[in-house]
Structure 1
């Protein structure tokens, strides 16, 4: 029995890697490909800003449907199929309207994949807890995902350098097909090792725990996440304009992925788990402020690499910290929906910062990063409020008469593990 559960954790880690493989390549080369299709910086900013708004609707609807069905795996495969088809179709798209429609459709279909996968992971984590099995280590699963981003980003650089910019979409299409096929086999094996559960009720009367705290956590994470808008649009474009080739750009983004892998591997033992979550969020927000301030100084190659090595602050810390907290706040009735709400909030802030990154770049150039630093600073203030609110535990309830069960997600040094 235990062997099956260990295999399930390994499969979930590999699944996270397969799903995340496209991420780094998409961030690094999509703006360059749009430029090769004739779009200017303002048009690219508008296109990237409008499309994430589609994720808000798809995240909310997809995760709500996933929680009601409880069949996260099949929904993930359905969305991955849509992503692969859209990437292939975009190779035939020209002009702002066609590219806008294609990218918006891509974001709509792609949006729920991450939250649905989080729902699958949390579902397995709770099932282990109820069965008295070793707790699932979320940081280890995330490390596989970050590692996949790193590997595919490093591999994409030399390939992209040998291809015309207008053909970069073919790399993304190939990776999306790889993700679909790999996920199909991983999910089939994973589901085969799990006992079949009865269908969930359509309406669960279980109330949401501490909704005010949940809203505070989501707002904090969304502000810091949204502060990535400027670098998403103009990072690669500005570096290319300074004369850096595709290999340097790929290496720079790979440095960010490498640092996230190291962070997640460390988190599995040293600073993962619920009791470290709020300080992790505060440290991440503070690091994001420093990161954007560094990029606003228009650094050279070493400074760019240093700023991207700080990715765990603005990225991983604000992914892992909130995940540990909302895993318990959401409960079984809101397994995927809490992550859908977080993803939707991230979409709102990121969409806003993407949209305004065009005017910011036109008016201030690289100093537009200072606006991103201000967003992260607001997130830092909220993170301090979160830390105060969870000082005595995220599920502290004076009316509770029974002890709180051990957390579903832990790190290796946690006694509950």
Structure 2
């Protein structure tokens, strides 16, 4: 079961490893301006506000996470194929948004069941999740290397291949979810609202959402900025990969970290070190310093991710784990990330590297709110 679940993480993060650094590069090659790229990426985030919680709730209600994952992965690949075939830029935006709408709910669905099964002793969540981190590195490094021999406009076919692999891996996925009593009623929308509309969950969304959204400049314009500084495609891919290697080391010892620190302290560490990371990036530091700052991805992303999923697992009803993850992704990856990308587009266009200071400020607010979350949490 661990190997098969890891394969899905692997294919999903392989796709993300190519898309995050190089989708903006492909869009630029198709003639998109900085503002248009920010608009396209922002539109991808917007659709998560509605699609992700709705689809994760439906998967929880009908206890059909495996079928949803397979179907959504296939749809994502179809939309990406269409994006590569059309010429109109408006149509490209629509198609990459539809593709993102399809694959975005897969991660929260997969995270919910992986943590559930990890707690049941079937495997260690952190070590299974490493499969995705490794393939993320392969994707970012591989795509960067391919730019030495292919033109940037051909990156779409690399993206399509990763989407197809993600769709195929879904069929190897074991049946997911905790065993339910034979006559237990499916979770209802009213019960879901009761569970999700709590002060602790609202604070969790603010803390983790702001910290994750603080990656907006890095995700949207980090590669383009490094390219403007003369970094090669291989170097850019290597820097992205370095951040994920640090994340892998964290995940190797995730269980021990969570037991020692607890989810809220992980969230506080992620936000605090996020302030350091983005403030450093704003200085346009030399490569040696950039390497150090990339290692902090283990904190700004990795600790925040672990803190979020373990908070949901420890303090919320397991029947709604997927829904809670979906709501979190919708708000953090939808509302917060959309606003952050809009801010990033304006700030980067006006101030280049100094735009990272806005991201440091977001982490600072998250750190303050995390103190209140600590007081509001059961333990």
What SS does the corresponding residue of 2:327 show, helix, strand or coil?
A: helix
In the other structure, the counterpart of 2:264 is 278
Structure 1 position 47, deviation (Å): 1.2
Match of residue 225, structure 1, among 212, 216, 239: 212
Q: Distance in 1 between matches of 2:143 and 2:314?
A: 38
Contact 1:139 1:272 in 2 (8 A): no
* Closer, same or farther: CA 263–43 of 1 in aligned 2, 3 Å: same
Contact 2:187 2:320 in 1 (8 A): no
Where do residues 243-258 of structure 1 align in structure 2 (5 Å cutoff)? 243-258=230-245
* Closer, same or farther: CA 300–95 of 1 in aligned 2, 3 Å: farther
* Closer, same or farther: CA 184–200 of 1 in aligned 2, 3 Å: farther
1:140 aligns with 2:127: yes
1:117 aligns with 2:107: no
1:93 aligns with 2:86: yes
* Closer, same or farther: CA 300–78 of 1 in aligned 2, 3 Å: same
Any gaps of 5 or more consecutive residues in structure 2?
none
What SS does the corresponding residue of 2:240 show, helix, strand or coil?
A: helix
Structure 1 position 10, deviation (Å): 3.5
Contact 1:259 1:312 in 2 (8 A): yes
Which one has a larger percent helix, Structure 1 or Structure 2?
2
Contact 2:17 2:138 in 1 (8 A): no
Provide the aligned length of Structure 1 versus Structure 2: 375
1:180 aligns with 2:164: no
In the other structure, the counterpart of 1:350 is 337
Match of residue 56, structure 1, among 34, 49, 60: 49
* Closer, same or farther: CA 226–351 of 1 in aligned 2, 3 Å: same
* Closer, same or farther: CA 96–279 of 1 in aligned 2, 3 Å: same
* Closer, same or farther: CA 192–364 of 1 in aligned 2, 3 Å: closer
Contact 1:22 1:172 in 2 (8 A): yes
Contact 1:68 1:200 in 2 (8 A): no
1:39 aligns with 2:32: yes
Find the structure with the greater CA-based Rg: 1
What SS does the corresponding residue of 2:231 show, helix, strand or coil?
A: coil
* Closer, same or farther: CA 111–40 of 1 in aligned 2, 3 Å: same
Q: Distance in 2 between matches of 1:316 and 1:292?
A: 15
| Aligned residues: CA RMSD | 2.3
Contact 1:37 1:95 in 2 (8 A): no
Structure 1 position 275, deviation (Å): 4.9
* Closer, same or farther: CA 275–361 of 1 in aligned 2, 3 Å: closer
What SS does the corresponding residue of 1:177 show, helix, strand or coil?
A: helix
TM-score, normalization: structure 1?
Answer: 0.84
What SS does the corresponding residue of 2:32 show, helix, strand or coil?
A: coil
The structure 1 segments of at least 4 consecutive aligned residues displaced by more than 3 Å after TM superposition are 122-126, 192-200, 202-207
Match of residue 14, structure 1, among 7, 12, 32: 7
What SS does the corresponding residue of 1:191 show, helix, strand or coil?
A: coil
Structure 1 position 309, deviation (Å): 1.7
In the other structure, the counterpart of 1:201 is 185
Q: Distance in 2 between matches of 1:36 and 1:367?
A: 25
Structure 1 position 196, deviation (Å): 9.0
Q: Distance in 2 between matches of 1:145 and 1:317?
A: 16
